[in-house]
Structure 1
């Protein structure tokens, strides 16, 4: 077998693996690229500011690439990069030098600041060239531009693309057009040169100590995009956090910027916002991801949760379709403008795909949690028919032969695994071999138990029938779970990852069991067992929680789901540990994420390698991870929430406070959380003493210690 790798400065190209029997391409890497985002538009390029015709670099809109090259040159040479910095949502600044121009001395005398601004449907740059030279400088500045209109799935699979020719459509203006998208680039005071590789050209003269500013912008017209920018301002508060650990404040600030940049709406309903899953592969509606991100942001207000619930309710399943996985009452997984098919792979997903086993119970619990945080009753009531439909879907799965909620791809070209660990090799036994479907995942049983009880609470509160039925279902599920999921392992008894097609426990120790904490499925004693296992070195001696124990046969620190660390997964477990009273374990995992955030310039990626801290010193990037990514950014809010331990039940008129005490976070002050629309401030001392102001009159407070 031969392996050919083609690379260019600043970006990797897909690797081609050549075999006498088959040829396929690998997903391009992006860990060393800079993303500038204001959804649904993203610029991905090198840290030097260049966007080269390589790999996944480009200017993307929705799920298509609008420009595949944006390369700046001066006198035919690329500037020498010295640094870059993010500049808020949609902004970045890149600094370079022109050392071959100006005075011949050690210090550079020509500097370029390339200030990039991405907006929904476009991008602009301001190129500032400043001279401290003692003589005038004359130069030719060019911007090389290419466009291939490549769909994101072609880019993701490393497929071949063909540049489209540009036309000169006006002074300083170039345009590219496909059957559905038009891209127009305009430069100020420049010459436009069309072609497959088009150019904008400026002739510049800088007097001694002079400065000049060049400007250009791109506009994308894409009327068939299914996602657009929301029609109104950001839905959530921006809390002000002061912490003894300054990493928490910096992580939250960057994360809130990233969350703002990932806001999306459907083209058909721009008034309802949701969070796109991640850049670049998943900048669209994803049921599970959008739900979890909205759930983590509930301490900042209920508006995002409400709109996410409505968006998904409008697309709730109404029929049985084996190709898409749709079923009555089911919440969808993924939305695209057309079929999503990876070149060289069997995967082929319809534009509206329902292949998820957990989005439906998570939708139910998001509605319940938003109600508890103070979502107005009329908004909850409007979604009760969808709640009943979702419970109906859940009930059919409860009544399946196994007695558990399970999945199996019925299309033969959909996702083989349909939980949050949805890679094809994610469900493995302790010895490393893969489980065969249908699969009943451990965390999904926890979600289903919680959804049944949450649904019962909502039905009862709003005078709808069926509450007793769903509590009985939950009780039955709990009994079955204890009888079938608990297995013996090297560290004692623990819940298995899943049950396979033969109803055998898949006996690997994984992070999935941490999602059971807080669902109510575990007893106090069982929660203590799970907490101890999650805090063991095999799971937690990296920068967060490993997806799989390092002692398992399938473990690999750079696998997608079998040993890597996911920020959102760790944050969910932190929240569960804190809520269950395991403050020390929650604090240790939180410190790991803060250390990872510092290493990644406070923009947590989708995932990173699960190496031990003692082995690597800093987290190793997963090279194809999304960044920014919604639920990774939301993890910062989850850490703040766990630190203050605010758990409201607005309909019942009470709030539970269970702050973390004695953790590496130290003292924490948070101003600007929201409960029932009111701004709430909380302060937690190092010893866990807590004070809260701003709660509405009539809400009682109960304070509980946290170990």
Structure 2
């Protein structure tokens, strides 16, 4: 994305524009009005008397609205303007823009105000891949009181319907007004852009979304209620409270309502490419934010359970019991040019589903949901044992069955070159990665608790615990890289280790699969110079053949990854190491105005003095938004324990006092307080 782009969003709908408010989509610029994986506006250009406008400033007022202050002419030729132009826009179920023109001249003016409007109705996959190959018919109809842009391909139909409160002249390329303004007179109009998505049976898929309204007051009230329900964080650390607030607001923006599911929301993965349901991303985000926004977990579990795999489908990489990876609603999914309807090609979402259910119950005491999802949990565990073990040695493996459009790497590091041997070569398929084995271990241990306490099946609980113990013993034998004293990133089908040092070993601490006598060495690696940059833990250690500080999964720093690593370090008693990681990530957040991106460069902190953003990182992104919240939990040592909330704080040096008020859970609402040690070096200086 280029600089000076403005993004506003509200779950299912988002707009990316220039800093003038104009939209001129190109193959390399994913600007436009997007909803349900379709670009509904690819051109939206305002002119006055045929002249483009120059931006004086713009304000991102809230995540769902923005305001642009403009004048005619180019910035390089600016002379005291006689006109001011204000564009205010908001997104909700649709897109609304208010246009205001003010005449500052001492004489009257006559203006032609024109908005050029058009849509290529590109599928988001086509925009992402920079390949626009439309197989249907694009049309444009200028009616008396509106402009209708449309696309049809069989029974797949998308329309953009544009109207205004002040009557306009509509043509196929846009609409215009002829306006006479006296001195100091003001003119304004509101432009409404409705999006229509016709599915099978002729029903508009977006009707349920419109029920939420597009009025600013409705959206503002929803945000205020969201913020009021969340715990309050106060801190002497200058940026912690503002980073927390930014995270809560972004999390509100990323709430996604799956179509036809009654307005329930779960976290979408991120803007601009992943504003949809993702199994892994939604689950991990829910785990991060449980102490602060627990309701997201209930919805996520129920929706993912309802869409759990039920059959063998090679095109979608579906198996019985498997939790979906990604759900899409665009043209390429509708015509099976992509398998995302839904697509099941991830190996971690299924054990993580069980992990989230157990963690949610510990916090909420929601026994009813545990009982409701018993069969889904059993099916997920059966998938681990019966369908995920492609080699027959008790581990979870992956190999795509859809070789055309399925994902090659189905772990969270899903880029093509993320799994390698120490010599840099890529292993054959099927592959297994270490962190997923930890998730499987954790899922079985947690499901044993659920079976014993809620499902009245102690024999099943005993069996799961035996299987988990066997997995742990076998894992610590097969995955340990003796000459480096860490766990391999992966195994190939012959059992050969992908013997690189990676951040994945931190997830093993979180899951509990690491033998106690090896934990100290893992902690040492995680905060050692090869993995820890000063800002955070790199995805791949410096010195590995494929290490690249701006390689997507081969050396960058992912805030979400670091938050779970810190949580794992706390689990094994390495509080100072966890605090070191938390401090680095929270320090980085202030360079991004509190909004941590998907990833940033793995350069040494001493080299860059500031974190270098990865060029195509999603922002906001759900599990980066959740990272500060999990780090706050980790620093304060917040853990549900026998129906109560235990607090065991270990803050970084110099963090100062932190208080988290009204933490919700089965205990009602409680407060937690902590004070960090003084930075004596800083005081002396």
* Common fold by TM > 0.5: yes
Q: Which residue of 1 aligns with 2:254?
A: 262
More helix by share: 2
Seen in structure 2, the aligned counterparts of structure 1 residues 536 and 264 have a Cα distance that, compared at 3 Å, is: same
Question: Any runs of at least 4 consecutive aligned residues in structure 1 with deviations exceeding 6 A, and if so which?
Answer: 225-228, 230-236
Aligned to 2:264, the other structure's residue is in SS state strand
Q: Deviations over 1:409-441 (max 9, x none)?
A: 122221111001111111022222212221111
Partners of 1:584 and 1:127 in 2: CA distance = 54
Other structure's SS at 1:581 match: coil
Cα drift, residue 57 of structure 1: 1.0
SS at the partner of 1:270? coil
1:636 and 1:231 map into 2 onto residues whose CA distance is 33
Match of 2:218 in 1: none
The residue that corresponds to 2:50 in the other structure is: 76
The reply to whether residue 401 of structure 1 matches residue 396 of structure 2 is: no
Q: How far 1:264 moved relative to its partner? A: 2.1
Q: Partner of 2:435 in structure 1? A: 443
- Greater shift in the superposed pair: 240-249 or 202-211: 202-211
Structure 1 pair 199/399, CA: closer, same or farther in 2 (3 Å)?
A: closer
- Corresponding residue for residue 89 of structure 2: 116
CA contact (8 A) 1:347 1:415 kept: no
1:588 and 1:664 in contact (8 A); partners too: no
Aligned equivalents of 1:131, 1:184: Cα separation in 2? 30
Instruction: Provide, for residues 540-597 of structure 1, a one-character-per-residue CA deviation record: whole Å limited to 9, x for no partner.
Output: 2253322111211101222221112222112222222234333333333333333433
1:222 to 179, 197, 202: 197
Q: 1-side partners of 2:17 and 2:600: how far apart?
A: 20
Q: CA deviation at 1:493?
A: 0.8
Greater CA drift, 505-514 or 332-341: 332-341
1:200 is matched with 175
The answer (yes or no) to whether the contact 1:79–1:98 under 8 Å persists in 2 is: yes
Verify: 1:144 aligned to 2:116, yes or no.
Answer: yes
| Residue 506 of structure 2, aligned match among 514, 536, 539 | 514
Residue aligning to 1:289: 281
Alignment CA distance shift 1:340-1:588 (3 Å): farther
Separation (CA, whole Å) in 1 of partners of 2:247 and 2:210: 19
Q: Structure 1: which 5+ runs fail to align?
A: 1-28, 689-707
- Aligned counterpart in structure 2 of residue 64 of structure 1, from 38, 56, 60: 38
Work out whether residues 230 and 273 of structure 1, in 8 Å CA contact, stay in contact via their aligned partners in 2.
Answer: no
For 2:496 and 2:502, how far apart are their aligned partners in 1? 16
Deviation of 1:271 (Å): 4.8
What is the match of residue 667 of structure 1?
A: 657
The reply on whether 1:470 has 2:447 as its aligned counterpart is: no
* Matched positions, count: 649
| Counterpart pick for 1:495 among 487, 490, 496 | 487
C-alpha separation between the residues in 1 aligned to 2:472 and 2:180? 76
Q: Secondary structure at the match of 1:295?
A: helix
RMSD: 2.9
1:309-352 superposed Cα distances (whole Å, 9 cap, x missing partner): 11111111222222222112111111123685799xx9942422
1:599 aligns with 2:574: no
Listed as ranges, the matches of 1:26-175 within 5 Å are 29=1, 33-54=5-26, 55-98=29-72, 110-120=83-93, 122-160=94-132, 164-171=138-145, 173-175=147-149
* Aligned pairs (5 A) from 1:677-688: 678-687=668-677
Identify which range, 205-214 or 407-416, moves more after superposition. 205-214
| The one of 188, 195, 210 aligned to 1:213 | 188
CA distances 1:69-116 after superposition (whole Å, capped 9, x unpaired): 111222322222233232223112223333689xx9966554333221
Match in the other structure for 2:552? 560
Query: Structure 1's 192 and 574: CA in aligned 2 closer, same or farther, altered over 3 A?
Result: farther
For residues 527-546 of structure 1, the aligned pairs below 5 Å read 527-541=519-533, 543-546=535-538
Residue 364 of structure 1 corresponds to 354
Question: Deviation digits for residues 480-534 of structure 1, max 9, x if unmatched?
Answer: 1111111145xx4111111112211111111111111221112344222222211
Q: TM-score, with normalisation over the residues of structure 2?
A: 0.88
Change (3 A) 1:342 1:533: farther
Is residue 286 of structure 2 the alignment partner of residue 312 of structure 1? no
Change (3 A) 1:420 1:347: farther
> Who is 1:691 aligned against?
none
Cα deviations across residues 288-327 of structure 1 (Å, max 9, x unaligned)?
0111111112102432111111111111122222222211
Q: What's the secondary structure of 1:242's corresponding residue?
A: strand
2: CA distance between counterparts of 1:411 and 1:298? 35
Is the 8 Å Cα contact of residues 30 and 623 (structure 1) preserved in structure 2?
A: no
- Following superposition of structure 1 onto structure 2, how do residues 179-198 of structure 1 map, counting pairs within 5 Å? 179-195=156-172, 198=173
Q: Is the CA contact 2:231–2:664 (under 8 Å) kept in the aligned structure 1?
A: no
SS of 2:620's equivalent?
coil
Q: Answer with 558-567 or 619-628: which moved more.
A: 619-628
2:478 aligned partner = 484
Q: Is the 8 A contact 1:31 1:621 kept in 2?
A: no
Distance 1:186 1:230 in 2: 16
Paired with 1:347 and 1:541, the residues of 2 have a C-alpha distance of 41
Report how far residue 278 of structure 1 moved. Answer: 1.6
Q: Contact 1:277–1:285 at 8 Å: present in 2 too?
A: yes
- Given the superposition, is the C-alpha separation of residues 381 and 493 from structure 1 closer, same or farther in structure 2, using an over 3 Å criterion? same
Seen in structure 2, the aligned counterparts of structure 1 residues 530 and 108 have a Cα distance that, compared at 3 Å, is farther
Alignment of structure 1 residues 369-448 onto 2, 5 Å: 369-396=359-386, 397=388, 400-413=391-404, 414-448=406-440
Asked if structure 2 preserves the Cα contact closer than 8 Å seen for 1:372 and 1:648, the reply is yes
Say if 1:478 and 1:95 are closer, same or farther in 2 by CA, change over 3 A: same
Secondary structure of residue in 2 paired with 1:126: strand
Distance 1:134 1:578 in 2: 69
- Matched residue SS, 2:485: strand
Note the C-alpha offset of 1:138.
4.1
CA distance in 2, matches of 1:354, 1:268: 20
Taking the aligned partners of 1:32 and 1:446, their CA distance within structure 2 comes to 42
Q: Give 1:118 deviation, angstroms.
A: 0.7
3-state SS of paired residue (1:409): coil
Unaligned runs of 5+ in 2: 213-221, 679-685
Q: Deviations over 1:123-149 (max 9, x none)?
A: 111223345555545433221111111
Counterpart-to-counterpart distance in 2, 1:660 and 1:129: 56
Cα distance, 1:474 vs structure 2: 0.9
SS in structure 2 of the partner of residue 615 of structure 1: helix
C-alpha displacement of 1:661: 2.5
